[in-house]
Amino acid sequence: MDKTFKNIFVEIENGIAVLVFNRPDQLNAMNRKMMDEIIEAISSINANKDVKVAIIRGEGRAFMAGADIKEYGNQTSEEFISFQEKGKLLYESIENSTKPWIAAINGFALGGGFEIPLACDLILASEKATMGLPEVFLSLIPGGGGTQRLVQKIGINRVKEMLFMGTPLDAKQLYDWGIVNRVFSDDDFLLQVFDFAKKLSRRPSKSIADLKRLANLSLTEMPFKQRIDDEANTVKKLFLGEEAQKAIQDFIQKNK
């Protein structure tokens, strides 16, 4: 990706794209310009056929400390509505991507900075990471899908505790609750994230795209039978494809 951004940067190597929030002095708080850049970068990564896995991380000691309150608090009604609509597009562009998106949380991930990981497929966290939805302290509520996506991941009582209290929780607690997939040592956090991503990038892209789509279907109101039929049709399509047939025959020959 050749474009130079002001508030983020993107690196692509060996099939892995890394989108980095780059406002470390502001704990990577997201303003309108940064949101526009993130949306553009996600769209570009999603369209890049060479990218197998995408990672989002933050520069410095935070993943993202939510919206930039200085700008956020001074928005006009029209600017606020636009900000919310673009946020919706941001989260959905991750969720609806055919690629697996990994949130690599190295520090604070609060408010919108936690809603982005909730839209990702996997969350890998440093042992020092803390996450939460503290909007209640501003007499607000999460506005980027946090109340809904969090319920999809853990039980309703725990969701209400996080929303009502607004207190950030550490990575270990959220791992125990099933929100975080892996907790890594802070000393070699990025190394372990990339090792995980490399292993994932070796999985067949077609299978991963279908697995993501079908898993996400389980969260919809589509009838169960229709979802099961979709799964059956998908595995048939893959089985009859050249890629799967070669992999199956290779496996048979290897185990003779």
pLDDT 10s digit of each residue in the chain, 256 long? 667 899 999 999 999 999 999 999 999 999 999 999 999 999 999 999 999 999 999 999 999 999 998 898 899 999 999 999 999 999 999 999 999 999 999 999 999 999 999 999 999 999 999 999 999 999 999 999 999 999 999 999 999 999 999 999 999 999 999 999 999 999 999 999 999 999 999 999 999 999 999 999 999 999 999 999 999 999 999 999 999 999 999 898 888 7
This prediction has a pTM of 0.94
Task: Return the domain boundaries, the chain.
Answer: 8-201, 205-254
Between CA 120 and CA 116 the distance in angstroms is 7
Residue 82: φ, ψ to 5°: -65, -40
The one catalytic residue in 79, 85, 92, 135 is 135
Is the CATH number 3.40.50.620 carried by domain 8-201? no
- Both tokens of 211, joined, read 């697995």
Annotation says 135 is catalytic: yes
- Both tokens of 3, joined, read 């474009």
The one catalytic residue in 115, 161, 221, 243 is 115
